[in-house]
Amino acid sequence: MLQLSFVGQMIGSLGLGALIVMGYGLVLRHFSGKWYEDYASAVVLACGALAAMTNPIVLESGYIFDARAVFIALAGPFAGPGGAVLVAACTVLPRIMIGGDGVTAGVTGIIIAAGAGIIFNWLFPNKRTPAGFLLLGCLAALMVLSLFMLEFRTALALMESIGFTLTLVNILGIVLLGSALEATKRSADYLRDVEFNAERDPLTGLYNRRALGQFEGSLGQSVSPDKLHGCVVLFDIDRFKSVNDRFGHARGDEVLQRVAATVTSRMRRSDFVVRFGGEEIAVVLLSTSVDDAYRIAEHIRALVEKLVFTHEGETFTVTVSAGIAAFTVGETKLEEAFDYADRALYRAKNAGRNRTETLSVPVSQAAPVRANA
């Protein structure tokens, strides 16, 4: 009867897994960056362990058994070593406060479960499969040895009564919950990839025209008052067709990638860089005057001019031309600013290429800008 009662309560505790999976999914969707994701995941798993501790089987003299080990062991692969330590600390303290004759064994079991997760993550970082979680469950099952922190006869009696059941339920819980968490992570990663590829150019990694449309739609809603004025800079690689014709499309792709990297290397996080056309790269500079945009464009132009490319022992260089136009959110449509930047770029091409030109949007539609010949 004790074993059946134990199984029932453990399964009830593992039902928390559904909430933990939901919480983990929220973490993956709303936290970016390895450090933030790991520690947010640790908090979710710690909550699961603490919740499991609220539904224990309590034997006489303070021997407490619950499903906490499942959540603690999974902290290693899903929250990293630091997250596993955090989850262990969050469960050790309440166990000490509960007290009883089994406190030493309980704390030892928590440390063994956390250590199992850390060792598993270290030895098998890419083995988050049902078979891998079965191995993790077997490692975490060593926590049952913590019973021998008790008086020997007591430990033997507990091992005979619930040792096998405790081990089996913990292994099963780790396999099931670990598999569910991994499925959630893979789904979140897939969704991130889909969202990223939907708005990125696959060759250069820059934003595409679709993302530009979304950016324009959000300008008036998310931009602070000090960023309402900005500039559009439109870069075009000079004589790009001749590069493809002479050196092949593979070298043309390399040129595009390195020019794109050069442009983005000089941008702020608030700036928006997009592959506007075949060999055209556009930059939306917020809170930037025309004079500042001109200096930025000239600096990038000079950097591109210094790039050296090699093909079958032959070296070559490329240049870019740039056109600049200013815009004011709410007064000048970004589309119109792009049109004037394109006209300025056309002037730069006609003036001999490898230069930067600006063109003023009419005063009635935007703040006056200085034209540079």
| Fold (topology level) of 1-198 | Arp2/3 complex 21 kDa subunit ARPC3 (1.10.1760)
Q: What is the pLDDT of residue 227?
A: 52
Please indicate whether the domains covering 1-198 and 209-359 agree at the CATH topology level: no
Q: What is the pLDDT of residue 183?
A: 94
**DSSP string for residues in 71-113:** HHHHHHHHHHHHHHHHHHHHHHHHHHHH-STTHHHHHHHHHHH
Instruction: State the catalytic residue, choosing from 182, 254, 279, 357.
Output: 279
Taking the alpha carbons at both ends of the chain, their separation in whole angstroms is: 92
75: left (phi over 0), alpha (psi -120 to 50) or beta: alpha
Q: What is the pLDDT of residue 7?
A: 56
The pTM (predicted TM-score) of the whole model is 0.65
Contact predicate 20/46, CB 8 Å: no
For the chain, give every domain's residue range: 1-198, 209-359
Q: What is the Cα–Cα distance from 293 to 67, expressed in whole angstroms?
A: 60
Q: Return all residues near 7 (Cβ < 8 A) that are at least 6 apart.
A: 165, 169
Q: What is the pLDDT of residue 222?
A: 54
Q: What is the Cα–Cα distance from 225 to 342, expressed in whole angstroms?
A: 27
Q: Give the CB-side neighbour count of residue 260, counting CA atoms within 13 A.
A: 25
Q: What is the pLDDT of residue 318?
A: 96
Is residue 279 annotated as part of the catalytic site, yes or no?
yes
Query: Length of the chain in residues, anyone?
Result: 373
Radius of gyration of the chain (CA): 31
Q: What is the pLDDT of residue 371?
A: 37
Q: What is the pLDDT of residue 90?
A: 94
- CATH number given to 209-359: 3.30.70.270
Please, which contacts does 208-211 make with residues 24 or more away whose CB atoms are closer than 8 Å?
208/274, 208/275, 209/274, 209/276, 211/274
What would the pLDDT profile of 2-14 be if each residue is shown by its tens digit? 455 555 555 665 5
What would the pLDDT profile of 180-195 be if each residue is shown by its tens digit? 999 999 998 888 888 7
Nearest to 30 by CA among 47, 49, 43, 18: 43
Nearest to 207 by CA among 282, 278, 265, 303: 282
Q: What number of H helices and E strands is found in the chain?
A: 13, 9
Residues of the chain below pLDDT 70: 1-15, 58-62, 155, 158, 220-227, 362-373
